[in-house]
Structure 1
Amino acid sequence: MPAEDAVAALAALKAPDLEAFEAIAATAYAGLPEDFRALCKSLVIRVEDFPTEEVLKEMEAESDFDLLGLFQGTGMPFQSVQHSGAMPNMIWLYRRPILDYWAEHDETLGAVVAHVLIHEIGHHFGLSDDDMEAIEKRGE
């Protein structure tokens, strides 16, 4: 392919829109082990461009790009019968911050989305950020 064609092909590339990003997230989720997914049946996964201003303030984020994802709800170990009727646990994946992170790192977009998704599912299982960091370090 001539250099001009390669440059034109690159210039035509666009970041995935919300619908395409949701498909990437669904593929990442489908790639998780079945027994892992079975524990996430009631979990709702949403994709938005950015976190809300309320979330940014609550999380003490310095910019719109500080959060790649967010778990909202009550971790499984902390749930009880009293939680019936409560909103389901939710995971938010933030498209623009994830794309920004992806552009600065040497990973595929699917790998970045899967990592964020697994991290937030860890919160669904009741793990803290410190717990997950320790687990990741053991895997290195």
Structure 2
Amino acid sequence: MDGQDLIGEAPSPDTFERVARATIEKLPAEFRAHLGEIVLIVEEFADDETLRGLNIEHPLDLTGLYHGRPIGEKSVFESGATPDRIHLYRQAILAEWCETGVRLDDLIAHVTIHEIGHHFGLSDDDMHALEDAVAD
């Protein structure tokens, strides 16, 4: 991440999106080829309905969320479905960044890859391996 992004104020949603998209570009080609029309959305917090649906009491407890059906559960006979979405929740990620001291770009990449892992139906171990594959 460019150090200029960190001067004066917290990085913008555009910066978060730029880091997330750069992370996606580093994924192995076989993963990128199957992301299809997935939509990346950076929001300040998860909405109340999402939090209630996940039984999460505080919005800072949710850093990201995948909305969609994992690739292995999709059918060619489905039509009219909304595109799969990855939500990154900026304030929750910033709070975790402050608490952990992990580099912000690494944390954004971690959350992005974790949510992409849900798209592929990966286990936590597989998600960590994928994260290692894109690490600088």
In structure 2, do the counterparts of structure 1 residues 126 and 17 end up closer, same or farther at CA, with 3 Å as the change threshold? same
Quote the Cα distance in structure 1 between the aligned partners of 2:80 and 2:67.
Answer: 15
CA RMSD of aligned residues (A): 2.3
Give the alignment partner of residue 70 of structure 1, picking from 65, 74, 80.
65
Unaligned runs of 5+ in 2: 1-6, 132-136
Give 1:16's aligned residue: 11
Quote the Cα distance in structure 2 between the aligned partners of 1:13 and 1:24.
Answer: 19
**1:110 is aligned to 2:98:** no
Give 1:6's aligned residue: none
SS in 1 for 2:102: coil
Quote the Cα distance in structure 1 between the aligned partners of 2:18 and 2:96.
Answer: 19
Quote the Cα distance in structure 1 between the aligned partners of 2:30 and 2:98.
Answer: 32
Greater shift, 24-33 or 108-117, is seen at 24-33
Unaligned runs of 5+ in 1: 1-11
TM-score, normalisation: structure 1: 0.80
SS in 2 for 1:83: coil
Quote the Cα distance in structure 2 between the aligned partners of 1:88 and 1:38.
Answer: 15
Figure out how many residues of one structure are paired with residues of the other and give that number.
126
Give 2:32's aligned residue: 37
Amino acid at match of 2:50: V
Alpha-carbon deviation of 1:136? 3.9
Quote the Cα distance in structure 2 between the aligned partners of 1:52 and 1:135.
Answer: 26
**1:90 is aligned to 2:85:** yes
Give the alignment partner of residue 124 of structure 2, picking from 111, 132, 137.
132
Percent sequence identity is 40
Give 1:7's aligned residue: none
Contact 2:44–2:89, Cα closer than 8 Å, also in 1: yes
Alpha-carbon deviation of 1:103? 1.1
Give the alignment partner of residue 51 of structure 1, picking from 43, 46, 52.
46
Whose Rg is larger? 1
In structure 2, do the counterparts of structure 1 residues 134 and 22 end up closer, same or farther at CA, with 3 Å as the change threshold? closer
TM-score, normalisation: structure 2: 0.82
Alpha-carbon deviation of 1:107? 1.7
Give 2:114's aligned residue: 119
Can you list the C-alpha shifts for 1:55-103, whole angstroms capped at 9, x where unaligned?
0000111201011000011110000023222111111010110011011
In structure 2, do the counterparts of structure 1 residues 74 and 15 end up closer, same or farther at CA, with 3 Å as the change threshold? same
